[in-house]
Amino acid sequence: MRHKKSNTKLASLLAFVFFLSGFASLLYQVIWQRLLTLYYGVGTVSIALIVSAYMLGLGLGALAGGFLAERVHNKIKLYGIIEILIGCFGLASLALLDFLGRATAGSNYTISFIYMCLFLCTPTLLMGATLPLLIKIFNGLVHDFLFSVSRLYFMNTLGAALGAICCSYLVISFLGLDFGIYMAAGLNFILAGIIIYSGKIYTHRIPRNSTIGSKVFRPSDLGKFVYLLVFITGFLAIGYELIWFRVVGIFVKASPYAFSTVLAVYLLGIALGSYYIEKYLRKHPNSDPVSLFFFCNS
């Protein structure tokens, strides 16, 4: 009983850490977007390039994180190190952006996209790696894969939505861009300290390997075709976000708050969707996830 209670406490701590990690990540994204547009313009094409570079890094980081999660023994220490590295890059980002902007201002969109990718690849790769890594740790504590993915994705994305709103309407407006970067980096260092300390306290509770430990749905006939389907849904989802940003921009006349507002609403919807789909599948254990997937995308 005590063992289970200790696992629950550590799992709750990890979920809260991931909430704040998402908050810090969106502080970075909103501020970097503001700074990058100073040099590359505020047009919709420029915004699309920034979002594309950011999502590319997150996707590749998630792939790398999944690889590491299966091979690294001390996963919680690695997660703490990643938070430290993100914070260090955050502190250096102001100087890096100033240098990059002065050296490349006026470049065409192709060159601009390359420079944006070069700048964003390091932090976004690190950010993307945190989700699969923490899912592996979290699932080893609760032994419920569906719950682990749903709850962590919900907490991280909810934190991100709050971070986008707070950054734009409070932090930048009253404290400035530089303070926002220092605030995000400070959060990274604090979270790294919490996670590494908790790893030492609960060493005997953190499993080296974990199994799915949840309902296993019947295999579908989709096979590897599922990767293409998920790719297409991601393509369309970001396409909607950029279109909505452009539509909102017409009404608010390119307000500096438009990007963060659309982003926050978008992320809030994703967070709630992740939370409630797990509840639905739990309540309807005989439902077909494949049919539900196509229904949600129809």
Question: Would you say residue 284 has pLDDT above 90?
Answer: no
Q: How far is 131 from 89, CA to CA, in rounded Å?
A: 19
* pLDDT over 90 percentage in the chain: 34
Q: What is the pLDDT of residue 252?
A: 63
Q: Which of 231, 223, 243, 193 is nearest to 77 (CA)?
A: 193
- What pLDDT does residue 192 have? 94
**pLDDT digit string (tens) for 42-89?**
566 667 777 888 888 899 999 999 999 888 888 888 999 999 999 999
Q: CA 159 to CA 14: how far, in whole Å?
A: 13
pLDDT confidence band for 17 (50 / 70 / 90) = very high
- Residues 181-240 have pLDDT tens digits of 999 999 999 999 998 888 776 555 555 555 554 554 555 566 677 788 888 888 888 888
Q: How confident is the model at residue 129 (pLDDT cuts 50, 70, 90)?
A: very high
Report the candidate in 235, 46, 194, 32 with the shortest Cα–Cα distance to residue 123. Answer: 32
Per-residue pLDDT, averaged over 145-152, amounts to: 89
Return the CATH fold of 2-210+223-296.
Growth Hormone; Chain: A; (1.20.1250)
Q: Which residue, among 126, 112, 115, 111, has the nearest Cα to 60 in the 3D structure?
A: 126
Q: How many residues does the chain have?
A: 298
Closest CA to 79 of 164, 156, 157: 156
DSSP one-letter code for 286: T
CB 285, CB 215: distance < 8 Å? yes
- State residue 222's pLDDT score: 65
**Band of residue 287 on the pLDDT scale cut at 50, 70, 90:** confident
